[in-house]
Structure 1
């Protein structure tokens, strides 16, 4: 299902600030070298994530799902001076690419890259976070949410990607990933500890604010 008309998507892109040279190169290299390049946030969503982070000015960010580092770089641009982003991915094959482009954006000191199962790593993190970005395996979205919630400061934010799942969330027949995303969205909607909104940016961003 086409969530936004392709002509409108192009118009939005045409009227969005261009990527930095490093991010543009990372975008291209991801499409050339990585599997499933459609997972890349890309120019428009990347700028949205950057702007959200700049408005929040977080001291600490947790990203679940590094991929080639595009979204993490965008989020890291909003960190307070001396701030840190911890990013977790189960696959280390793309780590050299991530480190390369993090360095090109002069963000090496802000990044801590962890490899492994996020379900096992998150409980070992003795940190509190101002902002959490969830963009990993869809069937564990609800589990990631539960694991990070107590590590999120009151007034902190969670952003989850792909919550419209190419529009499949409104279809009658749903596969396992779609069912998981739909259940996650409903879980957030019922959680009285948060306020939330879904933005129809790219494949859908659920933005959650912890109020209690």
Structure 2
């Protein structure tokens, strides 16, 4: 598997110098550096943004900013990405790389709980990337799909991407794994699959992506 992963990286467009530095810095300073999106997922997100051409993007879970910067590279002038990070200790690192990236005019960083920040957002998003606390995925989905808001967070034609929805394969073994993270992700996947308002496909990219389109 390591050879295959190395081959995949070698055959994909490489990181630019700033993203390489962010990867190194994350590995040196972050408690859980494996949470970084990384080269392949970052390239996928950037290409997806170029294809969809969203005017408004929402990210739940910034971590050190790799995925936000990856998406910003594909955004057109005037587009805005709101990204929410609960850990205030990451703020200085995130802002430093956003400022150096040249995409500072496209990225609005919000520090705090997604449940505190999202109600204050007066935007309808074309694309949402969900990569926050896995135990809160079902609650994120309910809030995003809430049709009672004066300004809905998503609309018909919006796309949602949920990361880590395979959770190391644990979701496929319900009798063996019943920890809060696995149970919440399994519940999220079930909610999406049974929601007539959306269509979705689960992709095995890295630890799994659930690509969701609001009908």
- TM-score (structure 2 length as normaliser): 0.93
Consecutive aligned runs of 4 or more in structure 1 exceeding 4 Å deviation: none
Q: Among residues 70, 74, 79, which one is paired with 2:75 in the alignment?
A: 79
Question: Which whole-Å deviations, capped at 9, do the CAs of 1:5-24 have from their partners, x for residues lacking one?
Answer: 33222221111100011001
Question: Which whole-Å deviations, capped at 9, do the CAs of 1:118-153 have from their partners, x for residues lacking one?
Answer: 112111111110000110111110111111224112
Residue of structure 1 equivalent to 2:176:
173
Q: Quote the Cα distance in structure 1 between the aligned partners of 2:118 and 2:182.
A: 24
Name stretches of at least 5 consecutive residues in structure 2 with no aligned partner.
Answer: 146-151
Name stretches of at least 5 consecutive residues in structure 1 with no aligned partner.
Answer: none
Residue of structure 1 equivalent to 2:144:
148
Greater length-normalized contact order (CA 8 Å, ≥ 6 residues apart): 1
Q: Among residues 157, 162, 165, which one is paired with 1:163 in the alignment?
A: 165
Aligned residues: 207
Residue of structure 2 equivalent to 1:22:
18
RMSD: 1.0
Task: Give how far 1:103 is off.
Answer: 2.0
Residue of structure 2 equivalent to 1:32:
28
Q: Quote the Cα distance in structure 2 between the aligned partners of 1:53 and 1:180.
A: 27
Task: Spell out the pairing of 1:107-126 with structure 2 (5 A cutoff).
Answer: 107-126=103-122
Q: Among residues 131, 137, 140, which one is paired with 1:135 in the alignment?
A: 131
Q: Quote the Cα distance in structure 2 between the aligned partners of 1:136 and 1:56.
A: 22
Residue of structure 1 equivalent to 2:212:
208
Is 1:195–2:191 an aligned residue pair?
no
Q: Quote the Cα distance in structure 1 between the aligned partners of 2:99 and 2:156.
A: 32
- TM-score (structure 1 length as normaliser): 0.95
